[in-house]
Amino acid sequence: MTALSALNILVCGIGGQGVMTAAEVLAQTAIDHGFDAKKSEVAGMAQRGGVVTSHVRIGPRVLSPVIAPGTVDILAAFEIAEALRWCDQIRAGGRVVANSQQLVPPVVSGGLYTYPENAVGLLHTAGTTAGFEVRVVAAGDIAATLGDRKLINTIMLGALADSLPFPAEAMEAKIVERFQARKPALAALNRQAFAAGRQAARA
């Protein structure tokens, strides 16, 4: 991100994974650190496991919440097939951070589409061809180890933390404060999840 440009982050996943919550945390943390930030969401059949996407744009001044096609700097994919679906929106030199977990949506189980085989391999091939970096994180497995599948969005935010224009600790604090007053046990668990995601992205 240059002094005048915006950082374009596309967050995508399946309904129930916390995509919109993650986008809100990203935008709010940016605003708290003096950036302008705007976001927009598309929640198609989100309550039934459908596709959910959110555009987050961060910069000195952001006029539009919508990311132009082919200008995504960071794709944060909470489900691996969704990473494949949206990776053509990444600019050359951009980055995708993807959860390796496979969650088959209703359009597949209903027979309308076929779930891709070897989605991780296909994503790496796409990155090599189009010139973007690929980091795959086993966020689903990490969440299972921590005992709560709802932690996937926090794990993925941790995985993104070192790619953002504000301190990772600031975003961690923003996540933790959502639980600190009423559910301190969840605050501690989310702190663990964030650290685990950050470490996994560095591996």
**pLDDT tens, 101-159?**
998 776 676 777 788 999 999 999 999 999 999 999 999 999 999 999 999 999 999 99
Q: Taking all residues of the chain, what is their mean pLDDT, rounded to a whole number?
A: 91
DSSP state of 183: -
Higher pLDDT pick, 111 / 161: 161
How wide is the angle at C-alpha 119 spanned by C-alphas 114 and 125, nearest 5°? 125
pLDDT at 44: 56
Q: Is residue 155 part of a domain?
A: yes
Q: Is residue 163 part of a domain?
A: yes
Q: Is residue 164 part of a domain?
A: yes
Q: Does the pLDDT at position 43 exceed 70?
A: no
Q: Is residue 2 part of a domain?
A: no
Q: Which helix (H) or strand (E) holds 32?
A: helix 19-32
Q: Is residue 1 part of a domain?
A: no
3-class SS at 76? strand
Q: Does the pLDDT at position 3 exceed 70?
A: no
Q: Is residue 128 part of a domain?
A: yes
How do residues 162-174 score in pLDDT, each as one tens digit? Answer: 999 999 999 999 9
Q: Does the pLDDT at position 58 exceed 80?
A: yes
Higher pLDDT pick, 178 / 172: 172
Structural domain boundaries, residue 82: 7-202
- Helix residue ranges, H only, 46-148: 80-86, 106-109, 119-130, 139-146
Q: Which helix (H) or strand (E) holds 175?
A: helix 168-180
Domain count, the chain: 1
pLDDT at 104: 79
In the predicted model, what is the mean pLDDT of residues 80-93?
Answer: 96
Q: Is residue 48 part of a domain?
A: yes
Distance CA 19, CA 150 (A): 11
Q: What is the pTM of this model?
A: 0.92
Which two three-digit tokens encode residue 170?
A: 């600031």
**Domain at 196, CATH number:** 3.40.920.10
In the predicted model, what is the mean pLDDT of residues 176-190?
Answer: 88
Q: Characterize the bridge pairing of strands 51-59 and 36-43.
A: antiparallel
- What percent of the chain lies above the pLDDT cut of 90? 79
Question: How many other β-carbons are positioned within 10 Å of the β-carbon of residue 31?
Answer: 14
pLDDT at 144: 96
Higher pLDDT pick, 201 / 41: 201
**E-assigned strand segments in 20-159:** 36-43, 51-59, 72-77, 90-99, 133-137
Q: Is residue 108 part of a domain?
A: yes
